[in-house]
C-alpha cells in the first residue's frame, strides 16, 4: 500500500538525528520526496547523500528551519509550495525535554518545550492541512510522534512538564481527527507513542549527566529509531478507509 505514496511529498520535522532521520530514510526508501527540516542541516545533507548512494527511489531535501520561529515555519511551507507543490504527508517528529520540575523549573525551559512540542506541531499541522486543502488532496496524512509519556505520568520530577506537553499532543491528535471528520475529508490523523527509544534524546535531556543518560539505555533492550520508522510505514500503508488513531509501543522489558 506504500505504492500510492511514490513521488509524493512528505515533511519530517527534526529529521537530523534519531527517529526523524530513521523516518526520513524509510520514506525515501519507499519513493517519497521528503523535506527533512532541522535547525542544522549538516546531518540531513549527509543522510541525503547516503540515500542517493543506496539507490533509493525517493529523494531527501534538507531544509533549515527553527521550529520555535513561526515565520521560519511559514517560509518553509511557502518554499515547499513553490518547489514541490505542497505537503501530502506531515510527520511532526521534532520534540525535546528539559530537566525543569514543576516546583523549581525555569520558565525558559518550560516555554521551549511548549514552543517545540506543542506550538510547532500545531502550526505545521495547520499549514500541512491548508496545503492539502488548496490542492484538493483528500488522502493526506498527518502523523504526530508522541510518547508513552503522553498517556501516563512518569514518576520523575524531571519528566513532568515534558509529559504535560505530550499529553497535549494526545489531545491535539484526537481534536484534529474530529475536526477533519467535520470537514468531510479523508485526510487522516494518527499518533505514534513510543516508550524508551535508544537515540540521542536522553543525552540531550540529561546533558549535564551523560552517565545517567547512558544508564537509561543500558537498563533494558530499548526500541530502536528504525522500529518507530516501521510503525510510520505501517500507519501510512493502511487502506484509505482505515483510521489508525494511536500506536502505543514500548520495549518488552519496560515496566511502565
* Active-site annotation, residues: 162
Q: Are 80 and 10 spatial neighbours (Cβ–Cβ below 8 Å)?
A: no
Spatial separation of the C-alpha atoms in residues 169 and 92, rounded to whole Å: 10
Alpha helices in the chain (DSSP H): 18-29, 42-53, 70-84, 107-113, 121-135, 160-182, 201-205, 210-218, 225-237
**Element holding 15 (H helix, E strand):** none
Q: List C-alpha distances in Å: 247 to 28, 31, 96, 210, 228.
A: 22, 24, 20, 30, 10
Residue 36, C-beta contacts closer than 8 angstroms, at least 6 positions apart? 12, 15, 16, 20, 21, 24, 44, 47, 48, 60, 61, 62, 63
Which residues fall within 8 angstroms of residue 194, CB to CB, at 6 or more apart? 19, 145, 147, 148, 223, 227, 228, 231, 249, 250
Length of the chain: 256
DSSP letter for each residue of 154-189:
-S-GGGHHHHHHHHHHHHHHHHHHHHHHHTT---EE
Give the C-alpha separation, 243 to 148, whole Å.
20
Amino acid at each position: 500500500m506504500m505504492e500510492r505514496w511514490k513521488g509524493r511529498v512528505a515533511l519530517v520535522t527534526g529529521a537530523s538525528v534519531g527517529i526523524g532521520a530513521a523516518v526520513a530514510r524509510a520514506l525515501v526508501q519507499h519513493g517519497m520526496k521528503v523535506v527533512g527540516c532541522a535547525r542544522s542541516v549538516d546531518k540531513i545533507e549527509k543522510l541525503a547523500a547516503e540515500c542517493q548512494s543506496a539507490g533509493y527511489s525517493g529523494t531527501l531535501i534538507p531544509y533549515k528551519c527553527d521550529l520555535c520561529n513561526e515565520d521560519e515555519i511559514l517560509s518553509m511551507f511557502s518554499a515547499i509550495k513553490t518547489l514541490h507543490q505542497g505537503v501530502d504527508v506531515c510527520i511532526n517528529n521534532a520534540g525535546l525535554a528539559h530537566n525543569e520540575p514543576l516546583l523549581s523549573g525555569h520558565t525558559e525551559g518550560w516555554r521551549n518545550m511548549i514552543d517545540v512540542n506543542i506550538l510547532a506541531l500545531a502550526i505545521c499541522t495547520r499549514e500541512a492541512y491548508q496545503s492539502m486543502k488548496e490542492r484538493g488532496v483528500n488522502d493526506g496524512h498527518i502523523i504526530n510522534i508522541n510518547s508513552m509519556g503522553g498517556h501516563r505520568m512518569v514518576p520523575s520530577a524531571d519528566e513532568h512538564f515534558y509529559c504535560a506537553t505530550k499529553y497535549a499532543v494526545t489531545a491535539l491528535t484526537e481534536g484534529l481527527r474530529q475536526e477533519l471528520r467535520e470537514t468531510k475529508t479523508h485526510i487522516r490523523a494518527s499518533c505514534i507513542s513510543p516508550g524508551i527509544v535508544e537515540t540521542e534524546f536522553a543525552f540531550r535531556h540529561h546533558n549535564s549527566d551523560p552517565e545517567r543518560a547512558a544508564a537509561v539505555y543500558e537498563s533494558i533492550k530499548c526500541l530502536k529509531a528504525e522500529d518507530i520508522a516501521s510503525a510510520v510505514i505501517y500507519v501510512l500503508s493502511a487502506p484509505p478507509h482505515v483510521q489508525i488513531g494511536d500506536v502505543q509501543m514500548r520495549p518488552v522489558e519496560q515496566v511502565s
